[in-house]
């Protein structure tokens, strides 16, 4: 597996890097939250644009991206529209999903964009191509908020993301028992050692899955999401606590 360097962040080496989501609804809330999140010194800040009240207004989205870029001049900025079917807040058409993400990419004010795997193949290809043309990195993602697919299925989805040209494949699944968490960790380790030629992000959500958010350096997840003002998914723990555990693990390895 090779590492990926974006600005000063070397991904896939050392302790898992920390991504903190912004989950405000209004511009004022998002900008206040941004200052608070900046003080937590994240490696990456994820703007969950599906929560923004004006997500359907491309001019408003573009203007807010520019303001977030000013706040996060040094951190990496990740633009994510999480669709309703994958645990997000809003339903939009496929056509608008492409338009929204292309608009964000073309501002060149973001470093990374989230593209969901389970989309029309042509749309996924279009978004990957637009990102590459504009120097924006793609995190390709898939979420199952109800269950954990088999190890083979998890690996097959992550491999499919590599085939699409994703810079960082990502999967988040929900465990219904401890064995499911082990399945996710086992799939991550096998992916890392046998299939992946680039960094990955995996997590098992909810309380039972928290170990997967802490032990990425051991099993092969290059990033972990920590809660800033508020968690954006079940199982995220506050950044300060997360960093403490990541450092303990890193020193032991
Ligand atoms: O895809 C992910 C991962 C996530 O769902 C989590 O479980 O930490 C949180 C989301 O904000 C992010 O877009």
Query: Annotated binding residue at 75?
Result: no
| Alpha-carbon gap, residue 69 to 124, rounded angstroms | 25
CA-to-CA dists, residue 6 to 62, 191, 219, angstroms: 22, 22, 22
Taking the centre of ligand 1 as the mean of its atom positions, its distance from the CA of residue 19, in whole angstroms, is 9
Pocket test for ligand 1, best of 49, 143, 146, 168 (most atoms within 8 A of CB): 143
Catalytic residue among 143, 160, 229, 251: 143
**Is 143 an active-site residue?**
yes
Other CB atoms closer than 10 Å to residue 105's CB: what's the count?
23
Q: pLDDT tens digits for 131-189?
A: 999 999 999 999 999 999 999 999 999 999 999 999 999 999 999 999 999 999 999 99
**Is 250 an active-site residue?**
no
| Alpha-carbon gap, residue 78 to 125, rounded angstroms | 19
Q: Are 185 and 212 in contact (CB under 8 A)?
A: yes
Verdict on whether the full-model pTM lies above 0.90: yes
Q: pLDDT tens digits for 80-117?
A: 999 999 999 999 999 999 999 999 999 999 999 999 99
Burial classification of residue 54, based on how many CB atoms lie within 10 Å of its CB (0-12 exposed, 13-18 middle, 19 or more buried): middle
Q: Are 18 and 42 in contact (CB under 8 A)?
A: yes
Ligand 1 atom showing the smallest separation from residue 114 Cα? 13
């Amino acid at each position: 597996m090779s590492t990926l360097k974006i600005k000063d962040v070397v991904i896939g080496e050392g302790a898992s890097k920390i991504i903190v989501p912004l989950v405000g609804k209004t511009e004022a809330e998002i900008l206040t939250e941004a200052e608070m999140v900046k003080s937590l010194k994240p490696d990456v800040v994820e703007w969950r644009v599906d929560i923004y009240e004006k997500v359907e207004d491309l001019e408003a989205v573009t203007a807010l991206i520019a303001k977030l870029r000013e706040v996060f001049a040094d951190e990496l900025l990740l633009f994510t529209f999480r669709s309703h079917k994958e645990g997000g807040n809003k339903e939009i058409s496929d056509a608008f999903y492409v338009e929204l993400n292309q608009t964000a990419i073309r501002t060149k004010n973001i470093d990374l964009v989230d593209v969901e795997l389970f989309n029309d193949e042509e749309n996924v290809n279009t978004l990957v191509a637009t990102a590459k043309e504009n120097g924006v990195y793609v995190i390709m993602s898939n979420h199952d908020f109800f269950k954990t697919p088999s190890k083979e299925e998890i690996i097959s989805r992550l491999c499919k993301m590599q085939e699409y040209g994703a810079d960082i494949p990502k999967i988040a699944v929900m465990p219904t028992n401890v064995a499911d968490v082990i399945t996710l960790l086992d799939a991550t380790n096998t992916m890392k050692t046998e299939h992946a030629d680039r960094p990955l992000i995996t997590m098992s959500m909810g309380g039972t899955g928290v170990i997967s958010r802490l032990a990425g350096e051991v099993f092969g997840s290059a990033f972990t999401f920590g809660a800033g003002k508020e968690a954006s998914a079940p199982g995220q723990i506050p950044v300060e606590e997360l960093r403490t555990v990541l450092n303990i693990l890193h020193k032991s390895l």
